[in-house]
Structure 1
Amino acid sequence: MTSTVRPAVPADLPLIAQLIRDLADYEKLSHEVRFDEATLGEHVFGPRPMAEVLIAEQDGQGQGFALFFHNFSTFEGKPGIYLEDLYVRPQARGTGLGKALLQRLAALAVERGCARLEWSVLDWNAPSIAFYRSLGARMMDEWRIMRVDGAALQQMGQ
Structure 2
Amino acid sequence: MPATDFILRPATPDDCATLLALITALAEYEKLTHLVEATPEKLRAALFGAHPHAEAVLVEAPGAQGAQAVGFALFFHNFSTFLAKPGLYLEDLYVDPAWRGHGLGKMLLKYLAALALERGCGRFEWSVLDWNTPSIEFYRAMGADVMPDWRICRVTGEALEKLGAVA
**Corresponding residue of 2:53:** 50
Please point out which of 19, 44, 58 is paired with 1:16.
Answer: 19
**Corresponding residue of 1:78:** 85
2:157 equivalent to 1:154: no
Aligned residue for 1:100, secondary structure, equals helix
Please point out which of 4, 9, 21 is paired with 2:7.
Answer: 4
Q: CA deviation at 1:40?
A: 1.7
**d(CA) in 2 for partners of 1:91 and 1:35?**
24
Listed as ranges, the gaps of 5+ residues in structure 1 are: none
Any residues of structure 2 matched to 1:1-158 within 5 Å, and which?
1=1, 2-59=5-62, 60-158=67-165
Q: CA deviation at 1:38?
A: 0.6
**d(CA) in 1 for partners of 2:121 and 2:70?**
27
Aligned residue for 1:142, secondary structure, equals coil
Letter in 2 for 1:10: P
Where do 4+ consecutive residues of structure 1 move more than 6 Å? none
> What TM-score does the superposition give when structure 1 sets the normalisation length?
0.98
**d(CA) in 1 for partners of 2:141 and 2:10?**
25
Aligned residue for 1:87, secondary structure, equals strand
Listed as ranges, the gaps of 5+ residues in structure 2 are: none
Aligned residue for 1:24, secondary structure, equals helix
**d(CA) in 2 for partners of 1:65 and 1:36?**
16
Instruction: State which drifts further: 27-36 or 145-154.
Output: 27-36
> What TM-score does the superposition give when structure 2 sets the normalisation length?
0.93
Give me the identity figure in percent: 58
CA RMSD of aligned residues (A): 0.8
Answer whether contact 2:20 2:39 (CA < 8 A) is retained.
no
Q: CA deviation at 1:36?
A: 2.9
Letter in 2 for 1:33: V
Q: How many residues align?
A: 158
